[in-house]
Amino acid sequence: MANRPAAELEVTPALAVRLLAEQHPDLAGLPVRAVASGWDNALLRLGDDLALRLPRREAAAHLVGHEQRWLPVLAPRLGVPVPVPVRVGVPSPLFPWAWSVVPWLVGEPAIAVAAAERRSIATALADVVVRLHVPAPGGAPANPFRGVPLAARDAGVRVRLAEGRVADADRLARLWDELVATPPWPGAPTWAHGDLHPANLLIGADGALAAVLDFGDLTAGDPAVDLATGWLTFDAVGRRAFIDRVTATAGTSPDTWRRARGWALVLALAFGANADDDPAFAALGARALREVLAG
């Protein structure tokens, strides 16, 4: 098991204020407070209506550029709030990587509520992925870890299953043998969010889907990587609503759903293997593996 990667640069409110003074001085007087620090980015709230996203390690720095380049293009088609940058920060002597000012999106992270309470967003999320999964242009980013053929993840899955830390590893291995043999995506690469799980979804007070977050893993590839959210986010009832809506709208094939279930297995193992310091993600990984086994 492992912790999330260590920050290579400490992102603090004081640093954020200095960056704003340097590049966006009209925002520098707003209050800044740290909110969260994920694998790739630190999130700080800026005043009441804005937030700052700053990379915390070099390996993730280029992902900010993907959001800056492509979210303004994709957001109008998605039908749900997403963190389209409203200001762009550029590398400087104060900070070596690009960073963004984005809207502060209101809602509760779906990871903080029970899976049964997420059923209310199943059809709305299905509509979002159908709108997103259109052929991507030639200049779209290619993520080597998301949206690729399942076979590219085979070695890592088998290592994690052999480590002896996963419940029902033998059953999961047999299931993986079946899923990884599914024919690969036959179509043109589509857009894919790449990291569509409950920590990147916000639910409003009314139970509606309030926002989809963190498009840093945005990629062109197999849309099944996003459809894995059927197992990562939902219980059996919510998953059936999600699958039915996507299939009715997009005509999604059984093979694509099998690859989606395979991607859910891949990602759930990754969540569990890197969550020693994050109980919520450890629980997410374990629950998702149970959903994968359930079908």
The CATH number of the domain where 44 resides is what? Answer: 3.30.200.20
Helix, strand and coil percent figures for the chain, each rounded to 5: 50, 15, 35
The whole domain housing 26 covers: 13-103
pTM score, two decimals? Answer: 0.95
Place of tokens 């996203």: 53
Q: What is the pLDDT of residue 173?
A: 98
Q: Are residues 97 and 145 in the same domain?
A: no
Together in a domain, 203 and 229: yes
Q: Residue 8's pLDDT is what?
A: 87
Please name which of 11, 47, 6 lies closest in space to residue 26, comparing C-alpha atoms.
Answer: 47
pLDDT value, residue 277: 67
How far is residue 69 from each of residues 74, 96, 251, 267, measured CA to CA in Å?
A: 10, 18, 30, 26
From 103, 121, 141, give the residue that closes a domain: 103
Whether residue 29 lies inside any domain: the answer is yes
Question: Tell me, what's the pLDDT at 274?
Answer: 65
> Do 130 and 71 belong to one domain?
no
Given this model, what pLDDT does residue 124 score? 98
- Quote the pLDDT of residue 38: 80
Separation in Å, CA 267 to CA 23, 45, 101, 134, 165: 37, 29, 29, 23, 15
- Of the residues 60, 86, 103, which one is the last residue of a structural domain? 103
| 260 falls within a domain | yes
In a domain, 1, yes or no: no
Query: Which of 103, 130, 155 corresponds to the end of one domain?
Result: 103
Cβ atoms 19, 94 nearer than 8 A: yes
Q: Where are the alpha helices (DSSP H) in the chain?
A: 13-23, 58-78, 122-132, 154-162, 169-180, 224-227, 229-232, 236-250, 254-273, 279-294
pLDDT for 1 equals 44
* pLDDT-flagged residues of the chain (< 50): 1
Regarding whether 192 and 286 lie in a shared domain, the answer is: yes
Q: Is residue 4 part of a domain?
A: no
Beta-sheet strand order (sheet of 32-37)? 32-37, 41-46, 50-55, 99-103, 87-89
- Residue 4 is predicted with a pLDDT of 66
| pLDDT attached to residue 59 | 82
Could you count the other beta carbons within 10 Å of the beta carbon of residue 151?
12
